[in-house]
Amino acid sequence: MLSFLLNNNPFVLSQDTTVRLEWNNPALHTDKLPGDIGIDISIPVNDNNRMLLGNPGRFEKATSKNSREFSGFEIRYGGVLLMIGTLIIQNANEDSYSGWLRSSIGNLAEIHREKFIYDSISFNEEKIFINKSNYDPDSDEYGCPQVLNTYFFKDKGQTTQASRYLPNPNYNKWIWEFPIFKKDEREYRWQLVKTEDYTEAFMQRSGCIVNKKNIDGTIRTPDTNSKADPENIRDNLDVAVVSPMLFLSYVLKTIFKDAGFYVDENFILDNDDLKRLIIYHNYDITEIRHTEDFNVSYSDKYSMQVDDILIDYQTEPVSVGFLIDSVYRKVNKFYYKKLLPQIKLGDFLLSTMNNINVFPFFRRERNIVDIIDRESILTQKAINIDEYMIGQWNMAAETDSTLKFLNQIDSDDFVFSEIWLDISEYRDKEKEPVDLWTALANIENPEIDEIRFVKESNGYAQYKLWLNEWDSEETGDQVQEKFIGWDLLTKGFQNAYFNYGKETELEIKTEFSSLFGEQLPYTKQRGNMQSEQFEFETFSPRLLFYNANNDASYKTENLSLDFEDSEIGLLKKRWNLWARFLSTKQEVSRNADFPLNALIYVVNNIYKKYRSQEGEFIIDSISTEFGINRISISEMKAYKINYSPKTYSLTDMWQLNDIIKVDDMIDFDGLERYYPMVVNF
């Protein structure tokens, strides 16, 4: 029997009450997280229902949106929970309340989707830095990997001078060195250059390495102070940048927890590589304090003329403050919110899904979410529901699409602006990759503008003509030389393609990118500090693998965050099966007559792979209407699997009466158990 409840209080329903419920599969979507919904809800007005929803006559006078939303609404049949969420009443009159049900995932989207991830309450709690030589993603919330960043303090300090051992501009030139002219044979020499005090101090004390390690592997966190003038900061302030980086699995778990969901099954934590993913940022948690010496004020002088009388030396205050005398730096307390990029929750979840190919599955009966591997859907055994199917499959045309995986490159990282170029327009001229630069010289008859991936440098080379120009050291005249050959076009982390060159193209977007550097990640990005003196510098979401002992990289031995790495890239290791399915999936639909227990089982496992006589498919949505004492035929939309990721035997894929439609090799071992007469055929 159909029943509605609000916070465990039942409604009194009429005999003609119906509701249509639709369950959706989140695994099939790369641009949204679809929620389950209940539509065409009509609740009769009576004394009992007025106690729960209020007088319908007052609805028109209500001004608050929440006055028409009722959380804790349940739809049950025979006592079995079908859907839970928020009842949204859109219309009310003297006869009925009408509206729809928004499920738990819909509530998450409605309340939190437009919030930034750092707005979660847990990220606004004060933390004390824990300094360790190694962090464990199973028990720790962050790691502190070393990152080379020569631009961290760029444009944040005062100008000073420093000595650098640089190429000698007078090398091999005649110079006057009292008392004679002589040839300068010093290829390099010490020279004074202009720099910034904090940049110089950071380079001298930490080698421009964020999270610079001590000898014992812990992070340098010096308590230091100096006078505030640039020379003292340069020579006496021990500048170290401390940047704990949160593990991706912890951030996801915390976001869901603050939204009221508990993460149970978590493929990211179960995977030895993915659990080591950390979120890079450019924030130094070191506390900066200043002392002031005395009050100072400045005024402008100006002249004015009144009635032909010139009045000079009038003053007007323009500023007042204190002279900063000293600066102190110390690692103390900090907030996780400062370590997170400015990205909205919805975009963050989709970016995670579309980067490492996982998806959140919200369990129907409780506020529990599982983070599931999409690839596992295709490798697990299909569930046979053929006995419940009625009618025939309605089949749309087969698809053959190109998948384009779009990364969001951090434009505030000068490394990318210097050595990175989007090569999407060059893809038509891309040829087979090579291992080494020297192998390019052995390619016969390359075409102009042809490009090839060079594995040793994680970059693309282009065959081209180019012109080098320079001034002759001897004559000073301009010299030009023409070259033809292979030249570096760009480094890696390109937008990737699967099944390239098809008429239709499906874009799969992620806000995540990474950092260059296999042994030591490197960037040229202005940093942020705990000080109001400096302007905030934006940074986009980027991931690294924490490879233990406070080291990190964009790859492990098994997995690379570069989609295009032919051996361990994301496309090869995390999208190998699902990309094939997405590019060839075929839209189908069919009706099914599910008894209640079978319907509940399918809904609870809607993301899994199913099968009928005609083959295997993945359900997109199921829509079923319920009456007081009836369950209607379920309308099912699905995608036929036109690519099977392995070779199946008759015993694990087909039954005797099945219609075989598959484009893979079939292992006929065991056939004699079904047709003994054809063993010797």
Secondary structure in 3-state letters for 180-238: EEEECCCCEEEEEEEEEHHHHHHHHHHCCEECCECCCCCECCCCEEEECCHHHHHHHCC
Q: Is the per-residue pLDDT at 677 higher than 90?
A: no
Residue 463 counted as domain residue: no
pLDDT for 467 equals 80
State pLDDT tens for residues 290-325.
776 656 665 555 555 556 655 565 566 656 666 777
pLDDT for 294 equals 59
Any idea what the Cα angle at residue 147 is, between residues 161 and 358, rounded to 5°? 150
Residue 430 counted as domain residue: no
Helix and strand numbers (H, E) in the chain are 13, 43
4-13, 304-313, 574-583, 618-627: which range is least confident on average? 304-313
Residue 14 counted as domain residue: yes
Looking at residue 645, the DSSP 8-state letter turns out to be: S
- Answer for the pair 60, 614: CB distance below 8 angstroms, yes or no: no
State pLDDT tens for residues 259-295.
999 999 999 999 999 999 999 999 999 998 877 665 6
State pLDDT tens for residues 120-142.
999 999 999 999 999 999 999 99
CB atoms within 10 A of CB 315: 10
Q: For 139-167, what is the mean pLDDT?
A: 90
Question: For tokens 């291992």, what's the residue?
Answer: 435
- Answer for the pair 46, 12: CB distance below 8 angstroms, yes or no: yes
Domain boundary among the residues 112, 136, 167 is at 112
Q: Alpha-carbon distance 648 to 665, whole Å? A: 8
* Number of structural domains in the chain: 2
Residue 77 counted as domain residue: yes
Residue 40 counted as domain residue: yes
Task: Give bridge partners of residue 405 from the DSSP assignment.
Answer: 496, 508
Q: Provide φ and ψ at 99, rounded to 5°.
A: 180, -150
pLDDT for 669 equals 59
State pLDDT tens for residues 449-466.
999 998 888 889 999 988
Residue 80 counted as domain residue: yes
pLDDT for 679 equals 41
The residues, any chain, with a CB within 8 Å of residue 360's CB and separated by 6 or more, are 26, 33, 256, 349, 353, 369, 370, 371, 372
Domain boundary among the residues 83, 112, 141 is at 112
Residue 668 counted as domain residue: yes
CB atoms within 10 A of CB 150: 18
Residue 670 counted as domain residue: yes
Domain boundary among the residues 91, 112, 133 is at 112
State pLDDT tens for residues 366-384.
789 999 999 999 999 999 9
Give the domain range for residue 78. Answer: 2-112
Q: Higher model confidence: residue 182 or residue 146?
A: 146
